A and B are shown apart, each in its own frame.
Chain A
Amino acid sequence: MAQDLRILVVETDPARVREIVDALTSAGWRDVKALAQISGLDRTVKEFAPDIVLIDLANPDRDTLEHITMASETTKRAVALFVDHTDDDLTKAALSAGVSAYVVDGLKMNRIKPVLETAIARFKIMRQMQSELDAAKQALEDRKTIDRAKGFLMRQRGLSEDDAYGLMRKTAMDQGRKVIDVANALVTAADLLS
């Protein structure tokens, strides 16, 4: 389960990068990429599409990272996680406040696993809530499109509502498409013809 997560480590110190990557790898996360230069962050976030970004709390590039994750579609995926000296109070406070931010002692790599696992659990809940929300929104949009297409058929062909829907469904099945695709095509055509 953990293995399917992509983790990006933003850190300039090569020794520390190795340490963090080793800790992640031995904890079972293999899809790990390290980035030393902030100048490539924008592109890397887009291309690598990390689920989690690890960055030092003291790294001044955090504002840039935050802006990139906010501005791009990766908002749903990227979680910033900050590696710094151990401070349990801060970790707890961050957790209870619902931040996707953590504090991990950079030198005690054995702590990275439990902390990351909690982060991932939280992140999965957030992602699920987001995808449920997206699905609900999409269903609503589809509903509207299908209603418009039905209305068009009812007017143009003098069909009842049930027959209009039946015709779209039959067309969809005959052509191996989804009802929403047929409805979309109809709505587009209706807009062109009006």
Chain B
Amino acid sequence: MTHTVLNCGYVPLVDCAPLVIARELGFAAEEGLELNLISQPSWSALRDMLALGHLDAAQMLSPMPIAMSIGLGGLPARIDTLMVLSVNGTVFGVSEALAGDLGAVQFGDAQTLLQRLAGLGRPMRIGVPFHYSMHRLLLSYWTSAMPGVDIEEVTVPPPRMADAVAAGQVDAFWVGEPWGSVAVQRAVGQIMMTGGDVWKFAPEKVLAARADWVSENPDTVRRLMRAVYGAAKWLDAKKNKPLAIEILGRSEHLNLSADLIDPALTGHITPGADLGPLKVTRFVQFHKHAANFPWRSHAAWIAAQLGADAGMIAQAKDCFRTDLFRRNLASLGADMPGASEKVEGSLKFETAVASSHGHMILAPDAFFDGRTFDFGPHT
């Protein structure tokens, strides 16, 4: 059987795992796809390559397809989000010097940490990987809740975040794993909380493709989604974690050692060089609790944070292709939530909701300040 070759862009971070597993464990081959994984040096380069048709599909930061579709930053292009690849998985950390000034703050206490930062009464430079990233949106959302926190956003490529902290170019950082743990290992910074402490269920990376390509290649899209969905499901099974870490550690696609991949996949985050690891619930979620479902309300929240008006928010919702998700994955036995939108921030605990199999358990999605976001009408 000849396989359809698919050029798929990614940035080598731990959470590109679903794409690597889809290729290495044969999920793609089973669907008759040869997944050609092409590493990209930067998110801007990945974005341009996708928009210009040099990539068929790509792993993207969840705000990117929305920013592109509503014409913010770089190339405007209609980009669709086929599914979510991972939820959460980022950390916020500070330099050793800033950690000293902040004093003891309990790990994950977003509210107290924010008060302490405000109390310092000085401007701070905070490193993020890309302007249109969930990292940056969570940072803006979190810090804007407190008047008096004066931050300057600095874009730093993740592999260089620890260097930037060491050189004093940034006072703090919001970055995806393994780069937060690298800063801790090098004893230049401390991790204070994870992205989940600001928003408990934030879509982090998505599988994206050009809208015109998606409509012209329905069968390839279906097979790609099935392959990646299978890989994500496999990755989220606890028993598969050790093997996943080994495969990813050996993979030329990631080029990271297994001990750097381990903390993210097992959720054991070490906050400081002289501290032991802490177990973080749902540090990164690849599949469970409908993690792959491209909630239209997630798209709306992202668009609203980007300053979109009502028309653009409607446009953003349409980028998250719940219709394709339902159509292409139902035959795999995937459980589908009954609704495609929800009131973001309203789930304080694990909650059972109506689904195609009867009911499914959704994970908490609360924000640190208890706010809720209703972008209805819920269709």
Whether, in the assembled complex, A134 has its beta carbon less than 8 Å from a beta carbon of chain B, the answer is: no
Q: Which listed residue (A57, A67, A68, A98) contacts B45, Cβ 8 A?
A: A57
Q: Chain A's nearest CB lies how many Å from the CB of B136?
A: 10
Task: Give bound CA distance, A60 to B40, whole Å.
Answer: 9
Residue among A58, A63, A66, A97 having the largest count of chain B Cβ atoms under 10 Å: A63
Could you tell me if A63 and B155 are in contact, using CB atoms closer than 8 angstroms? yes
Main secondary structure of the interface of B (DSSP, over half): loop
Q: How large is the interface on A (under 10, 10 to 19, 20 to 34, 35 or more residues)?
A: 20 to 34
Could you tell me if A93 and B53 are in contact, using CB atoms closer than 8 angstroms? yes
Residue among B51, B157, B159, B169 having the largest count of chain A Cβ atoms under 10 Å: B157
Q: Chain A's nearest CB lies how many Å from the CB of B49?
A: 8
With a cutoff of 8 Å between Cβ atoms, the chain B residues found around residue A194 in the complex are none
- For window 11-58 of chain A, which residues contact chain B by CB distance below 8 Å? 39, 57-58
Could you tell me if A60 and B52 are in contact, using CB atoms closer than 8 angstroms? no
Q: Chain B's nearest CB lies how many Å from the CB of A86?
A: 14
Proximity string of chain A (57-92) to chain B, C-beta cutoff 8 Å, 1 when within and 0 when not? 111111110111011000000000000000000100
Could you tell me if B73 and A62 are in contact, using CB atoms closer than 8 angstroms? no
Smallest CB gap from A91: residue in B: B52
Could you tell me if B156 and A94 are in contact, using CB atoms closer than 8 angstroms? no
Task: Give bound CA distance, A89 to B107, whole Å.
Answer: 51
With a cutoff of 8 Å between Cβ atoms, the chain A residues found around residue B358 in the complex are none
Q: A39-B167, A90-B54, A94-B52 are in contact. Are A62 and B74 (CB under 8 A)?
A: no
Q: A39-B167, A93-B52, A94-B52 are in contact. Are A62 and B41 (CB under 8 A)?
A: yes
With a cutoff of 8 Å between Cβ atoms, the chain A residues found around residue B159 in the complex are 60
Proximity string of chain B (72-116) to chain A, C-beta cutoff 8 Å, 1 when within and 0 when not? 011101000000000000000000000000000000000000000
Could you tell me if B41 and A59 are in contact, using CB atoms closer than 8 angstroms? yes
Whether, in the assembled complex, B130 has its beta carbon less than 8 Å from a beta carbon of chain A, the answer is: yes
Total interface residues in chain B, CB < 8 Å = 26
Whether, in the assembled complex, B230 has its beta carbon less than 8 Å from a beta carbon of chain A, the answer is: no
Q: Chain B's nearest CB lies how many Å from the CB of A123?
A: 16
Proximity string of chain B (55-75) to chain A, C-beta cutoff 8 Å, 1 when within and 0 when not? 000000000000000000111
Whether, in the assembled complex, B44 has its beta carbon less than 8 Å from a beta carbon of chain A, the answer is: yes
Smallest CB gap from B167: residue in A: A39
Q: Chain A's nearest CB lies how many Å from the CB of B170?
A: 11
Could you tell me if B74 and A64 are in contact, using CB atoms closer than 8 angstroms? no
Q: Chain A's nearest CB lies how many Å from the CB of B324?
A: 25
Proximity string of chain B (159-181) to chain A, C-beta cutoff 8 Å, 1 when within and 0 when not? 11000000101000000000000
Q: Chain B's nearest CB lies how many Å from the CB of A190?
A: 32
Smallest CB gap from A61: residue in B: B157
Proximity string of chain B (341-374) to chain A, C-beta cutoff 8 Å, 1 when within and 0 when not? 0000000000000000000000000000000000
With a cutoff of 8 Å between Cβ atoms, the chain B residues found around residue A90 in the complex are 52, 54
Could you tell me if B41 and A60 are in contact, using CB atoms closer than 8 angstroms? yes
Could you tell me if B130 and A63 are in contact, using CB atoms closer than 8 angstroms? yes
Q: Show 24 A/B contacts (Cβ-Cβ < 8 Å), sorted by A.
A: A39-B167, A58-B41, A58-B45, A60-B160, A63-B42, A63-B43, A63-B131, A63-B157, A64-B157, A66-B44, A66-B73, A66-B74, A66-B131, A67-B130, A67-B155, A68-B155, A71-B153, A90-B54, A93-B52, A93-B53, A93-B54, A94-B52, A97-B52, A99-B74
Interfacial residues, chain B to chain A (CB-CB below 8 A): 41-45, 48, 51-54, 73-75, 77, 129-131, 153-157, 159-160, 167, 169
Given A60-B160, A63-B42, 4 extra CB contacts under 8 A: A63-B155, A64-B155, A66-B74, A98-B75
